[in-house]
Amino acid sequence: MAAEHQKTAVVTGCSSGIGYCRAEELAKRGWKVFACARRAETMQSLAEEYPEKIVPFSMDISLLDSIEKGYEFVSSRLADGKLDLLYNNAGSSCTFPAIDVPDEALTQCTAVDFEGPVRVTSKFSRLVINAQGTIAFTGSLAGVMIFPWGSVYGAMKAAVHQYASVLALEMEPFNVKVVNFVTGGVNTDIADKRPLPETSIYNFEATKKSFADRQAMAVKNSPMDPALYAKRAVNAVENSRVGVVNVALGTGAGILSFVAAYFPRWLILFVIRIKFGLNAVWSVIRNGEYKKTK
């Protein structure tokens, strides 16, 4: 009698938060998980708790050479050349006014939030195709909703959503599923803590308050516990079907995805201006008072 197939997964961004909990949830269900982060030692506790199920390794998804080495590490440990799940989870926040994004922050966000998942997917895709498995992405409400001070991060997540959508179409004949989690509030430490640039034209008190509210958006709105998020995400992966791509998950994900798709822009902006104190910011700018602080 043939031995039961050992399901395998690669999960990126496992040092903390969603990725850490997702690797743990998969291990609890009997998966063998190759859990990666830039530094493997950040996942030591996972490896110690699940020594037979979790294999930590170092892979910086912003560096092509590191992806190549990560692929060699994983592929050399797959006896049958099959990977049942590739989970692109690693991410980097970027919260700045659209005209004030530092070039270093832009480069980092682009490399981690978009280029990284694309390159990792390209490199590991044959292993997933061999298994007729699943490729998953941690998307975000920021990719569909108009959140102030988050243009670059939102743009990268929107790019991931579109990439996943087209990838799903192209993977259909291989019977490979693609799941994109449009993620709402989750209680993690991903929030960008960098201050409003001193040279910003928005650098006055009203904006500072709005900016702080944006940075604390997730933690102020009853975020979902990452362990619960991970459990529901793995459920969705294990029950995924070819052609079904977007899954709303996390606080506010379902309702805000619906609002973004069907409500008029003017109404959405009316609410956004109130929620993030933008009317006070606009007032300072339109009255020319911001110039007195420069």
Phi then psi dihedrals of residue 224, to 5 deg: -70, 145
Among 20, 50, 87, 153, which one carries the catalytic annotation?
A: 153
What amino acid is encoded at 244 in this protein? V
Nearest to 88 by CA among 128, 110, 116: 116
Phi then psi dihedrals of residue 203, to 5 deg: -80, 80
Among 15, 93, 140, 240, which one carries the catalytic annotation?
A: 15
123 is catalytic: no
Rounded to whole angstroms, the Cα distance separating 59 from 198 reads 34
Nearest to 189 by CA among 112, 273, 91: 91
153 is catalytic: yes
Rounded to whole angstroms, the Cα distance separating 113 from 243 reads 23
Handedness of CA 122, 89, 73, 83 (dihedral sign): negative
Phi then psi dihedrals of residue 92, to 5 deg: -140, 130
Please give the DSSP secondary-structure letter assigned to residue 191: S
CA dihedral 72, 77, 79, 81 (to 10 degrees): -30
Q: Which residues of 96-124 are buried (b: 16+ CB within 10 A; e: fewer)?
A: bbeebbeeebeebbbbbbbbbbebbbebb
Among 7, 53, 82, 157, which one carries the catalytic annotation?
A: 157
List, by residue number, the catalytic residues: 15, 153, 157
